Structure 1
Amino acid sequence: MSSPVLELPPAAAAASVPSAVAPAEAWALVSQGQALLVDVRTPEELAFVGRVPGALNVAWASGTQLTRNPRFVREFEAKVPDHSRRVLLLCRSGKRSALALEALRKAGYTQASNVAEGFEGELDAQQQRGRNDGWRFHGLPWQQN
């Protein structure tokens, strides 16, 4: 008699994927084709601050007030229809992408993680980013328009 196949419920499957990964680990996963990088910053941020080559963009918020995009999940699903795809979310400091991660996990994306530190990192004592942490701080690939 064969033993029954045990399937993990969605919550357990999501628990096996870390909620955050370090920038270097994220780049390793992306460059090896094991994950898709989705930048949730605004198109303006990508154009003026810089972006990771090959990353998709689905803005979590828009405008100077960073008003939440009410269509975020729908727009994400249009670009990444496979809910079981390994996805890494990136923003400026890791805060917006953490919120986007929550929304995507609720929508059934069980293999999504946040890129810790974000693209520019946290503000330092001089109120500047990119001096202590972040994608660019670690010397990972990026480009600017």
Structure 2
Amino acid sequence: MSRPPVPPFTEETARIKVQAAEDDWNTCDPDRVAQAYTEDSVWRNRDEFLTGCDEIRAFLRRKWDRELDYALRKELWGVLGDRIAVRFQYECRDAAGQWWRSYGNEQWEFDESGLMRRREASINDVPIAESERRIFGPRADHEQGVDVLPVR
């Protein structure tokens, strides 16, 4: 299976890859998201280590069962060959109604068909008031490719 764009990435094709990942993750559909990864993909997400699409799907189901009203923004940070660095922010609320903003960085590595074979994510969470929210649903078409993430 091929998932264009494929490496080696340019800045333009890396931006396309990052936007596609953001779009997929904003569906909160573990099956759709898992299609972007190799069958033996390895992940580090915070303090969890995962291998393979079955573990990735199970992780994403748990994630979105507890992270309600999830909305994500990703931005390209750097690109070199088959590797892309991304910074991101997302907001969600927990079952008790507390809103959170999560800040993170990811390093991605792809195989020759454009599937991600490695993902490492470092993420920090900050409680916010609902009135402080700034990410609402998927990015509008006119906002795609626009870097908008403030530091805080």
Q: TM-score range by the shorter chain?
A: under 0.3
Quick check: which one's strand share is greater? 2
Q: Which has the larger radius of gyration?
A: 1
State the TM-score, normalizing by the size of structure 1: 0.27
